[in-house]
Amino acid sequence: MARRRLAERSPRHAGCFFLLPLWHALLAAEQIGTLAAIHDGRFIMQTGLGYGAEQFEAFGRSESTSGPVIDESIGAIQALLAGQVVDVPRFESVGCRVGYLPPEPVEWWIGSGAVVGVERAARFGAAWYGGQRTTPTGDADVIDAYQTACAHHGTEPRMIVRRDALVSADAAEAHRLGDAILADGYCGPQANQLLIGDVDEVADSVRALGDAGFGNVIVRCMSSDQVLALETIEKMGEVRRGLC
């Protein structure tokens, strides 16, 4: 039943997100393996370091060790999901395996806005998942570092970026609503880091990201109003069809 429902909701792909420095690697591996096993198609594991001392303290972790922890966790989880028996000294675990294995390799997206993070994505053969503030011009050095690191490690570069969006049939109305949301204290990105406008305007913005090397653009609705959110989803479908 769970498998059928998941397939109905996401017939093409499914995924999950873990800030691995906050997790026990074996518990994360078991959950990822189980979710991937009940899904027929492509399964995507998204991860990143997280930030903020309070966040780490709440989980009994230290932000200062997040880099080594995520490196060890990714390596251990990838080996476990490949069916290997693994020792994870950091978690005092020996001879570990997971109960369920994915029917096909899990696809990894490693998020970061820093050079050391994109090097990690290249080293583990994963996609680099740029955040909502990532731009081709503002992050040209990070893009170059990722591509250089992929060449060094012999892995295929793959860049993905996230964008918050507000798309309407009326471009002027979309910008008016977007400006109001930003003025109300919308967290995170600036106007040039958003997808706002009508289908043609947003398609041009997405096309520019593609020209810069981003093969996928992951979209989140900017507005919590259900009418606006549903219109954005509908119009993004038109954007996608126009770009294919």
The string of pLDDT tens digits covering residues 194-235 is: 999 999 999 999 999 999 999 999 999 999 999 999 999 999
Residue 187 binned pLDDT confidence (cut-offs 50, 70, 90): confident
Whole-number Å distance between alpha carbons of 71 and 33: 19
Beta strands in the chain (DSSP E): 13-18, 42-47, 86-88, 93-96, 107-111, 127-130, 159-167, 194-197, 214-221
Residue 143 binned pLDDT confidence (cut-offs 50, 70, 90): very high
Quote the tokens at residue 123. 């080293």
Beta partners for 204? none
- Of the candidates 240, 72, 77, which has an alpha carbon nearest to the alpha carbon of residue 167? 240
Residue 39 binned pLDDT confidence (cut-offs 50, 70, 90): confident
- Of the candidates 139, 242, 228, which has an alpha carbon nearest to the alpha carbon of residue 189? 139
Whole-number Å distance between alpha carbons of 20 and 63: 12
* pLDDT score recorded for residue 12: 67
Tell me the percentage of the chain whose pLDDT exceeds 90: 71
- Does 6 have pLDDT greater than 50? no
Cα dihedral sign, 167-18-122-119: positive
Q: Is 79 exposed, middle or buried (0-12, 13-18, 19+ CB in 10 A)?
A: middle
Cα dihedral sign, 196-197-198-200: negative
* pLDDT score recorded for residue 7: 44
**Distance from the Cα of residue 131 to its chain's centroid:** 8
Backbone angles phi, psi at 208, to 5 degrees: -65, -40
- Does 8 have pLDDT greater than 90? no
CB 87 within 8 A of CB 57: no
Which of the two residues, 96 and 1, has the higher pLDDT score?
A: 96
Amino acid at site 206: V
Query: Within 10 A of 44 (CB to CB), how many other CB atoms are there?
Result: 18
Q: What is the residue whose two structure tokens read 């995520």?
A: 70
Residue 70 binned pLDDT confidence (cut-offs 50, 70, 90): very high
* pLDDT score recorded for residue 91: 85
Q: pTM of the entire structure?
A: 0.85
Residue 2 binned pLDDT confidence (cut-offs 50, 70, 90): very low
The string of pLDDT tens digits covering residues 52-69 is: 888 888 888 888 889 999
Question: What is the end-to-end Cα distance of the chain in Å, rounded?
Answer: 34
The string of pLDDT tens digits covering residues 154-172 is: 999 999 999 999 999 999 9
Which of the two residues, 9 and 27, has the higher pLDDT score?
A: 27
